[in-house]
Amino acid sequence: MNSLALSCIVLARRAALFPFLVLLLAHTVSTEAQTAEESPRGGGDRPGAGLIYYAKADFAFADNKAVIANPHICGALFQVIWSQVEQRDGECDWSELDRWIQPWLDGHKQVAIRLMWSTSGNWPKPYYKTPTPAWVWQAGAKFAFHQQSRTEMPLIWDPIYQQYAWRFMERLAARYDGNPNILFVDVTPGAETNPYRFMAINRTTPGFKDEFVKIKTSDGRMYDEELWLGTIKQWVDASARTFKRTPLLVTLNVGGMQARDRSVVIGDYCVARGFYVGQNGLSGSSYRSLGTGRSAAFIRWSQQTKLFFEMVAGTGGRTGTLMEVMKAAERIHCSYLNVYPEDVLRGTRGLPQFDPAYEEALAYGARVLSSGTTSVSEKAEER
């Protein structure tokens, strides 16, 4: 009990109100206990920067005790698939998310949540083919369908889709907003601000983009560049209204189907509203030149908010070595780096795939990211 509560008791005794105050305090304690039982427990403030374990697919529920104990990892990122949580209209089952979160909190680490609105059916789990609950389509929302991968892609600007997607965000916020153990929530509209996952789809089906732009939403609209830019801004504003205290992240991509890169325009819009911004696709060769374009924008944004980056893929090939990735993160003033799970495992002592070079890279990354922490804008802190 804090000093203010004790002072109130003293005053209440003098005013012959002590029995009433005891009942009031008992109700407060009971309410707090109920709230604690309804959401994962854990302690500690959010770290200002650090390395995050990318807990994707099967890695989310693997035996991660050794990874959680890794001193170079500050937390983990978990992907939420809407269709898995709200399988029936209005009935949200958060048990899987809670089950994933709790071991990290027990290990005095934090977590980040990513809402995956648009996915690729080429990914390993079957639910990636259907990220939107079927009942949303039954309610009248429209989607694009990629036959080769059997992927359902929501048209994010469809008003019926937005109605239910934003309601889902409200329910997530009602349960987790303000939890100090949550580093941030990634609310990125579409596929990293693109209307769908170009790399996964256009590479195998180059003509799909021509089909996509002809599909009408429930109110009869078809894709165009300005409609999509307006939709992104709408989504950002809706997210900001919904989450009042937990930091929010938008990961940036080109932001449209034409060649013009609008990531800086979108990033400026997000940063002005207190969001973290970032990019999925960091390799060892990224951001060699920092003076122009998106690179210069990230350096500028790093003075206003936190930056998040995710590795382009596991180490090797176009990604480079893990140490090279860490140095790229350092160059671009990264705050949080989402490290592929295979590489974290190789840098974790006690595991069969342990490699001292990976541990050295993780230690270097953790050190330089935490020492280069940038101040967060007041808007982000007060969300």
What b-and-e string marks burial along 21-36, b requiring 16 or more CB atoms within 10 Å of the CB?
beeeeeeeeeeeeeee
What confidence category does residue 37 fall into, taking pLDDT thresholds of 50, 70 and 90?
very low
Could you tell me which residues come within 8 angstroms of residue 88 by beta carbon, excluding any fewer than 6 positions away?
A: 133, 135
How many CB atoms neighbour CB 111 within 10 A? 26
The predicted pLDDT at position 260 comes to: 87
The predicted pLDDT at position 383 comes to: 41
When comparing pLDDT for 203 and 17, which is higher?
Answer: 203
The predicted pLDDT at position 14 comes to: 39
Query: Shortest CA distance to 56 belongs to which of 102, 113, 95, 105?
Result: 113
Tens-digit pLDDT profile for residues 152-174: 999 999 999 999 999 999 999 99
The predicted pLDDT at position 363 comes to: 98
What confidence category does residue 33 fall into, taking pLDDT thresholds of 50, 70 and 90?
very low
Q: Is the pLDDT of residue 46 over 70?
A: no
| Domain ranges across the chain | 1-38, 42-382
pTM given for the model: 0.86
* Alpha-carbon span 330 to 318, nearest angstrom: 18
CATH number of 42-382: 3.20.20.80
The mean pLDDT value for 84-104 works out to 97
Position 73, amino acid: I
The mean pLDDT value for 215-240 works out to 98
Q: Is the pLDDT of residue 279 over 70?
A: yes
Parallel, antiparallel or unpaired: strands 182-186 and 248-251: parallel
Q: Are 196 and 153 in contact (CB under 8 A)?
A: yes
167 bridge partner residues: none
Average pLDDT over the chain reads: 88
* Alpha-carbon span 379 to 236, nearest angstrom: 14
Q: Is the pLDDT of residue 306 over 90?
A: yes
The predicted pLDDT at position 199 comes to: 87
* Alpha-carbon span 130 to 264, nearest angstrom: 30
* Alpha-carbon span 301 to 297, nearest angstrom: 6
Parallel, antiparallel or unpaired: strands 182-186 and 276-282: unpaired
How is residue 280 written in tokens?
């999925």
The percentage of the chain sitting over the pLDDT mark of 70, rounded to a whole number, equals 85
How many CB atoms neighbour CB 88 within 10 A? 10
Helix (H, G, I), strand (E, B) or coil at 168: helix
The predicted pLDDT at position 346 comes to: 98
Could you tell me which residues come within 8 angstroms of residue 274 by beta carbon, excluding any fewer than 6 positions away?
A: 240, 247, 248, 305, 377, 378, 379, 380, 381, 382, 383
What confidence category does residue 45 fall into, taking pLDDT thresholds of 50, 70 and 90?
low
Highest mean pLDDT among 33-37, 56-60, 77-81, 204-208: 77-81
The predicted pLDDT at position 373 comes to: 46
When comparing pLDDT for 2 and 132, which is higher?
Answer: 132
